[in-house]
Structure 1
Amino acid sequence: MDYLVVKWLHILSSTFLFGTGLGSAWYMLFANVSRDVRAIAVVSRYVVIADWLFTATTAVIQPATGFYMAHLAGYPLHSRWIMWSVTLYVMAGACWLPVVWLQMRLRDLAASAARDGTPLPPRYWTYFRTWVALGVPAFIAFVFIFWFMVAKPI
């Protein structure tokens, strides 16, 4: 029974983690494509909230439930699929940490521009390009993590 509950929590939290990340990226990307400073300010504010509320909490739940499931199922932690999953998870986390900082800067710059009725400064767009550049490898890492979790290939 423990295994099924932990597996359910693991799958549910992975859904929140991946879904929030993908959804936030989608709305942030297209708010920025619109170049509507007020829309960007609103979306970036909610993206930061979603990241702290969902991504940060599930980022902790994922390894805790994953390692506990591996223990319950008797999978050795040195299994290659677990080691690859952990490596990719750490890589995605290494991308996510600066993304959180960038999102807070993007939010603040957009809020200032919306409040003052000015265009977004060039620094905003530099941060945004970096945000995208960090999001792509994190997304790819998570796609592979899902594959490793399902297929357990090696």
Structure 2
Amino acid sequence: MDYVVVKWLHILSSTFLFGTGIGSAWYMLFVTMSRDVRAIAVVARNVVIADWVFTATTAVIQPLTGFYLIHLAGYPIHSKWIMWSIALYVLAGACWLPVVWIQMRLRDLSAEAARTNSELPPQYWRLFKTWVALGIPAFAAFVFIFWLMVAKPM
């Protein structure tokens, strides 16, 4: 495959990956702060769907296109910027895996609260705090990865 096509796929998939993450985080954060249980249930359900449709697929596409670009461009795999990018991507993935499970629990807990017309249980709030705590390093990792991809510091 042509370098420009692979690079385009890499940039496009990174846009979907990062954009879905930022959008999901934004809506989950602000809908949860609203304490509107029915709205939280709807948003949480859609965030889980978006994570599987966009984040999961692009999380696979990113390393495939990234390693192929390294090969096509002839960059040494052990370049510091590449090694940092890989390490940060692994960190972000390590944060994302439990976040997926947490989002499914938040979805289920909020759906049950909406169905029974009750408040969110304490478990929701504990999980939400963990969700936020895992999102911060993942966000920072992706911001730094973007910088490394653009600057390619040697």
Q: Which runs of 4+ in 1 moved over 4 A?
A: none
Cα distance, 1:132 vs. partner? 0.2
Measured after TM superposition, the shift of residue 12 of structure 1 is: 0.1
Secondary structure of 1:90 counterpart: helix
1:36 alignment counterpart: 36
Per the TM alignment, residue 125 of structure 1 is displaced from its structure 2 partner at its CA by 0.2
1:1-154 paired onto structure 2 within 5 Å: 2-154=2-154
TM-score where L is the length of structure 1: 0.99
**Alignment-mate amino acid for residue 32 of structure 2:** N
Scaled by the length of structure 2, the TM-score of the pair is 0.99
User: In structure 1, what is the Cα distance between the partners aligned to 2:17 and 2:98?
Assistant: 17
Matched residue type, 1:124: Y
Q: Aligned-pair RMSD on alpha carbons?
A: 0.6
Compute the displacement of 1:152 (Å): 0.4
**Equivalent AA in structure 2 for residue 32 of structure 1:** T
- Aligned counterparts of 1:91 and 1:67: Cα–Cα separation in 2: 17
Deviations 1:68-92 (A, max 9, x none): 0000000011000000000000000
How far residue 31 of structure 1 moved from its aligned partner, in angstroms, is: 0.3
Structure 1 CA distance, aligned partners of 2:138 and 2:125? 20
Q: Secondary structure at the match of 2:143?
A: helix
Question: What is the aligned length?
Answer: 154
